Structure 1
Amino acid sequence: MICMLMALPASAQLFRVQCPTSTAEHPLVTPTAANPKGANPAIKCQEVSGADGYATMADGAQIYLFGFGPLSGLELIKAGLPGTQTSAAFNNAYNVPYLQGLDAANGNASVPDPLYEAAKAVAPNGAIADSAEIMKIGVLSAQQPAPLMAIDEDDEFFLTLSNVGMIMRPDLFEQHTIHFHGYPNASPFFDGVPDASVAVNISGSMTYYYQAPDAGTYFWHCHITPPEHLQMGMVGQLYVRPRQNRVQPGADLLGPLIAANQKAPGAVDGKSCSDILCTGQTPAPAAGAVREAAPVMYAYNDGDGSTAYDVEYPIQMMGFDPTFHFAGMTFEPEDFSGMKDKYFMLSGRSYPDTVGGNVDAGGNVVPGPIRTQASDGLARPSQPLPTRIILESCVGQPGACGTRKHRALLRMSDVNVTEFTTLATIGIPMKVIAVNARLLRDLAGNNLSYLTNSVTMGGGESTDVILDAATVPPGTYFLYSTNLDHLSNDAENFGGMMTEIIVN
């Protein structure tokens, strides 16, 4: 697989986006109307830019970022969803490059392809592959946190990083890489650590290749001068969904996942269960397992249904030092020894931005995150992930709990450079099911999950918890940091690392 990537022919353009429709491990499948090329659905792809930009804090201050921005799945990212797609969806071009032709007026102008606007409307989540469009959309597009990624166990994942440069700091010729933190990546070449792999120069692209062997919550970041680039915003979340989600209840996890008519002739489909001491069987569904929107999901290959959930929320605990960011924007030396965060955020947003309800210039309340003006003059959220948790209670609804979304999986990771943080709940206990992408089981297979009202994490750690509102009365509850200085927006109190849990 690696040889195939390295042997690609040279191209006149430096940006190059790669997403194959088949590999030796995942061959072409039977074509359908929705997938006419027979692209294997187990091949997932995503494209991001390395750039700079701005994010607006909850007190209205704008913070300068180095960061990653989306170059595929734009509408998905805008909606707070993972931008990862199957190769069939990814290769539906977001736009069509301009065709060179003759203009009657001056004889040498570019004539736009007539499919340009239509292609954007049909495939708003397709990859941006044209070099001019990569620059146009990629500059000043940094998001905090970086675009969300989600893949399934057994997938092959092709992730393209295009380094468009930092417009606000033209003196910096910064390289960037992508490193999957804590992820069991077998190839050092794609690990993103520049000592053992490669870094991406400005105006260049690299497509990273990964296999998805272990379910869990991880995060990814740039590994060039990590203390600086993480503090400046080059960090995002990644999670791997378990194989158990795709197997019929009671079936063997080692059995086939894809129907026979969706396989290539002679293709073999079967993987070993990767979670330690997995039973190899999927649990029987709970009563009324089909919810209002989707079937019940699992966080890990648990074999007993103990990690079942209805809705998931990726939450990254992070902080910014405004002085450090200001120095990064104004060509001043950055003080690493004095780095001290003063903005504390959940997925890039501080309270009250974590619960929406922003007020626009006309005095109207606008739902969703604060928006920041981009390079094209349009205002977009730089922190699009949802941070208000919505659940449904079963109190007073006997027999209806099977149709209610009462269990939320919080995929929490701490990407703070300078602080340890304790995150707590009031009124709804946390069920801790996994730490650092490992299911809590002992060597005999016993379930070691536990209930608590707080978890403490440092930078580089992750914890998966489930909130169950089945017996919780409807109302407003809180997820917040117990570190008092983390409940502020720089010099303002009553902000920071806090959000609401709404139980309907």
Structure 2
Amino acid sequence: MDDHSTAGLSSETDAATGARLGRRRFLQLAGGAAAVGAVAWRGRLLLPEAAVAADLPPDLALGGTDGWMYLPPTPAIPPFHPDVLAPDGLTTYIFGFRNVTGMTTLQRSAQKNHAQHSAPLFWVDQFDPDHPVDFRVQLTNLGLALRPDLFDAHTVHWHGFRNVIPFFDGEPSGSVAVPSGRSFTYVYRPRDPGTYMYHCHVEDVEHVQMGMTGLVFVRPLQDGNTTLYPSGRYLYNDGDGSTGFDREFAMFLSEVWAEAHWADAHIQLPEWSDYQADFTLLNGRVYPDTLAPNGSIDPFHPVHDADGDLIAPAGHPNLKYQPHSSLVTCQPGERVALRFANLGFREQAMSLAGIRMRVVGRDATPMRGRDGTDTSYETETLNIGPGESYDVVFTAPAHTGGSGTSGQGYDTYLLYNRAYTRSNNLAPGGFGGQATEVRVHPAGALSPQQYPNEWAVQ
């Protein structure tokens, strides 16, 4: 076993007796072997801390299930969209992850049929060898409410995570897949800062398209150093403050093929070679819904009702299961970090009109040569392939008096997909695709940002 992960096993079979080896018995065996630094089990050496990994509480708990989301009813794509089975105010059947951190057993079980898209955004600190702390994600497979005939297992695959041992990789042919009604804890030692994605890797073409996808990033050890950049917040361990920022926003790109979602809801089999993206989404929404407020997006302190269900963003009950806003707010002179990740099946071209973006990282790798040469570059458009991520920084321009509506007094810049059909989904009026706004407010109008994607308007 390498030192990038520790094992999180709840039970196995005793090789000597053939009986089930429970946690307590396993811990007893591990404790008795502590003097020699490891325990031999099934012919393998396990580090002492491996014995207790599953018994430590998770840092984040996710539930895998199905549910419904909202997309504009136009353009209508009969009979696939809107789906006649959808509850009032919703249109599209999905699979997805829900944040069930801190819930009671009863609340957690009630989240079946309450999946969200995109999956909960979360972040972790880079592993510090001087203060070693592992990060644990527990996945509970809640099952599918609309399709009880399916017994799909689920996994969490941290896309691009370096040196993960196969046991925690989430690729089902080489690691553990979680059956319906069961739980499993993944243990990580994230050594490389940057922006990543995660998704279910069981029948991944279907499960990714159906919505079991999300964004995760690793904060560098350099965080907290205010001598390099005043905020003490960075994308990478740059050593010079070049990746420092004041505000950060996640931009997760995904797609919906309406026929595939309809087919899963109506017990039909889509032909995946016919794939076409009818809707392209930004943080699980389409424009102008991308500008609507956030729901609960702090992964470690989730907000929910007494039953554990999500609370809809203010004024937008139809976005109850799409809690992530894409609206970017900032003040003149502030440095803004944008974390892009694409888990659709097509290349996207995200453009920020009127503001130059500096690309400082790609696929969780800083733009630096082996000799330290700075290879970052400025651009107005990012071509993002499927499975790729980009970290960019821009400096908010001067405030010019405001182009906002209703006397808001902010300047507006458009962040959108330059591919015409991706930016508007061919909907009437040009609405409905991967587009949002960057709003530059007057100095002093915004409070400090507490967590990613927070608007922070005073």
For the aligned pair, the TM-score class normalised by the smaller chain equals 0.7 to 0.9
Judged with a 3 Å threshold, the aligned counterparts in structure 2 of structure 1 residues 302 and 368 are, in CA distance, closer, same or farther, namely farther
Q: Please list every run of 5 or more consecutive structure 1 residues that lacks an aligned counterpart in the other structure.
A: 12-22, 27-39, 73-126, 250-283, 290-294, 359-365, 373-379, 395-405
Q: Give, in whole Å, the separation in 1 of the partners of 2:313 and 2:205.
A: 34
Q: Give, in whole Å, the separation in 2 of the partners of 1:497 and 1:328.
A: 24
Judged with a 3 Å threshold, the aligned counterparts in structure 2 of structure 1 residues 409 and 426 are, in CA distance, closer, same or farther, namely same
Q: Is 2:360–2:377's contact at 8 Å kept on the other side of the alignment?
A: yes
Alignment-derived partner of residue 273 in structure 1: none
Q: Deviations over 1:432-485 (max 9, x none)?
A: 100111000112202111110000011100000112114464511110010000
Q: Give, in whole Å, the separation in 2 of the partners of 1:327 and 1:350.
A: 22
Q: Is 1:176–1:201's contact at 8 Å kept on the other side of the alignment?
A: yes
* 1:63-212 superposed matches below 5 A: 63-72=92-101, 127-130=102-105, 132-136=106-110, 138-154=111-127, 155-212=133-190
Judged with a 3 Å threshold, the aligned counterparts in structure 2 of structure 1 residues 6 and 25 are, in CA distance, closer, same or farther, namely closer
- The letter of the residue matching 1:197 is S
Q: Deviations over 1:24-45 (max 9, x none)?
A: 789xxxxxxxxxxxxx9xx971
Alignment-derived partner of residue 382 in structure 1: 321
Q: Give, in whole Å, the separation in 1 of the partners of 2:374 and 2:314.
A: 38
Alignment-derived partner of residue 431 in structure 1: 358
Aligned equivalent of 2:269, options 322, 333, 337? 333
Q: Is 1:353–1:369's contact at 8 Å kept on the other side of the alignment?
A: no
State the aligned residue count: 354
Q: Give, in whole Å, the separation in 2 of the partners of 1:4 and 1:499.
A: 40
Q: Is 2:7–2:187's contact at 8 Å kept on the other side of the alignment?
A: no
Q: Is 2:287–2:431's contact at 8 Å kept on the other side of the alignment?
A: yes
Q: Is 1:58–1:349's contact at 8 Å kept on the other side of the alignment?
A: no
Percent identity between matched residues is: 34
Q: Is 1:357–1:367's contact at 8 Å kept on the other side of the alignment?
A: yes
Q: Give, in whole Å, the separation in 2 of the partners of 1:385 and 1:185.
A: 30
Judged with a 3 Å threshold, the aligned counterparts in structure 2 of structure 1 residues 24 and 50 are, in CA distance, closer, same or farther, namely same
Judged with a 3 Å threshold, the aligned counterparts in structure 2 of structure 1 residues 369 and 213 are, in CA distance, closer, same or farther, namely farther
Q: Pairwise CA RMSD of aligned residues?
A: 2.6
Q: Give, in whole Å, the separation in 2 of the partners of 1:369 and 1:150.
A: 28
- The letter of the residue matching 1:494 is F
Aligned equivalent of 2:317, options 371, 374, 384? 371
Deviates more, 1:431-440 or 1:467-476: 467-476
Alignment-derived partner of residue 198 in structure 2: 220
Aligned equivalent of 1:499, options 432, 436, 446? 436
The alignment partner of 2:326 has SS state of coil
TM-score (norm 2): 0.72
What displacement does 1:393 show?
A: 1.3
Q: Deviations over 1:161-180 (max 9, x none)?
A: 10111001111111111100
What displacement does 1:148 show?
A: 1.2
- The letter of the residue matching 1:66 is F
Matched, 1:49 2:63: yes
Alignment-derived partner of residue 94 in structure 1: none
Alignment-derived partner of residue 460 in structure 1: 387
* 1:282-293 superposed matches below 5 A: 284-286=227-229, 289=230
- The letter of the residue matching 1:128 is M
Q: Deviations over 1:333-352 (max 9, x none)?
A: 11201110111111111111
The alignment partner of 2:207 has SS state of helix
- The letter of the residue matching 1:217 is T
- The letter of the residue matching 1:350 is V
Q: Give, in whole Å, the separation in 2 of the partners of 1:314 and 1:25.
A: 34
Q: Please list every run of 5 or more consecutive structure 2 residues that lacks an aligned counterpart in the other structure.
A: 13-20, 24-46, 51-55, 75-81, 83-90, 128-132, 295-311, 403-410, 442-458
Q: Is 1:185–1:191's contact at 8 Å kept on the other side of the alignment?
A: no
Matched, 1:352 2:288: yes
Aligned equivalent of 2:337, options 409, 425, 431? 409
Q: Is 2:6–2:188's contact at 8 Å kept on the other side of the alignment?
A: no
Aligned equivalent of 2:418, options 482, 486, 495? 482
